Amino acid sequence: MSDEIDPKEAERREALQKDLDTLHVMPMSIVPFQNRTLERARMIKNGRLQTMIELFSDDDTGSGQMTVDAAARQLREEMNAPPKDITILRKLSRLSSYDVYSLRVSLREQDIPVNNIEELRLSPEKSKELGGYMKDFTMPLIRDIYGSGDVDVKDFDDLINLFRNPDVKMAREKLDMMAQKLDIDLMELPRFLEDYGDIFLSLAYYKQGLDANAPIMRDFLDNLGKIRQNWELKNDTNLMKTCDMLEKTFTGLSAHLKRLFDEFDSSTKNFWSDVSAERFREVEALIEGYHTTIGAVLCALSVKMGAWHHLFPRENIGGPVKRSEFIMLEMRQGIEQVRNILKEAQGPKPRLRRHSKFKTYMQGQEERAAAARGVKSVDVAATDVPDADRF
């Protein structure tokens, strides 16, 4: 039997992963709608931050969109879609971001089913792209456990490869060293490393998003200054008020994200000073608790800056008048929603989700010793290596 993937299925997976790497696009195939028409569509945030159903998109024909209300009406009246589909559609439309980390939280909280929860992760290409950011989070763990002199463990991939090392004795010694340092049962190391990699990958993803928007926002703010000084435009009171409002809103979004990242940096520094699996759970809960907040703020910022950069990618495209028209017609549209997102983000801290605890190193040793006494008088812990199938 051939292991080759059907070309159409390969194309579908590639498109799915590409969409899931974004903040503002959600492939609707991840949700089990009874009406199969919805499976081929995408839910997007447009340049005005309106939630739209995108039926098709390509360079030649453009993007075919319809509002959620229109889609719901058509599904109900013309396609006899079940009420549950309409309810789910409306719930999805109210989400502020469609990045995978926000979706994991929001879909669970909204009780929205998912076809395959394992699909809600970044593509391998995106994960590799974030490698530079990830080093800031993985290298401290490696240095704390193994120091800087271990030639076999230099990065996070080396940690994972220990589980597959043919030299079982050497791998077991290094993994046992890690388990003792973290005070975690040796057999729970794969779960710890999987969770560790995932939560810090989310932070890397959001940091990259903020960094990518920074130069575009600087350009946008510079242009606001030029518009204010333009002899033809500076007497337009409505335009000047809009420029002030946009500057305050977007700088507020950026500043809030930076404050959150500073808070995370402080928490992770405390974690490195007293590294353990349980301390990691505290850091994990803190970061995950802010996923929907960061996702919402970053999605709004990215969509608006993306719209600006798409029309004015270079300084010599569009003068102050054309740019001011775009500001009044497009950039300020949906800005009240952005301000509400910022207001909510600056509100009380989110309720932290508690994760299951890890067994301590001693608990694991005692359990395996007891199991071994009941079967035969050998220490099975001396040769066992945790299963690496999850990696």
Which pLDDT score is estimated for 46? 94
Q: Which domain holds residue 43?
A: 7-120
For residues 268 and 276, what is the distance between their CA atoms, to the nearest angstrom? 12
- In this structure, are 110 and 153 located in the same domain? no
In angstroms, what is the C-alpha Rg of the chain?
A: 25
Which ranges of the chain have pLDDT less than 50? 1, 376-383, 390-391
Residue with token string 């794969």 = 190
Which pLDDT score is estimated for 368? 81
- In this structure, are 62 and 139 located in the same domain? no
Which pLDDT score is estimated for 258? 94
- In this structure, are 230 and 94 located in the same domain? no
- In this structure, are 60 and 183 located in the same domain? no
Which pLDDT score is estimated for 58? 80
Which of 120, 154, 169 represents a domain boundary (last residue)? 120
* Per-residue DSSP letter, 317: S
Q: Domain count for the chain, please give it.
A: 2
- In this structure, are 89 and 150 located in the same domain? no
Q: pLDDT, tens digit, for every residue of 266-292? A: 888 778 777 888 888 888 998 999 999
Q: pLDDT, tens digit, for every residue of 56-87? A: 888 777 788 999 999 999 999 888 889 999 99
β-pairing, 42-45 vs 51-58, is antiparallel
Q: Counting Cβ atoms within 10 Å, is residue 316 exposed (0-12), middle (13-18) or buried (19+)?
A: exposed
Q: According to the 3-state scheme, what is the secondary structure of 103-124? A: HHHHHHHCCCCCCCHHHCCCCH
- In this structure, are 139 and 183 located in the same domain? yes
Q: Which amino acid is at 228?
A: R
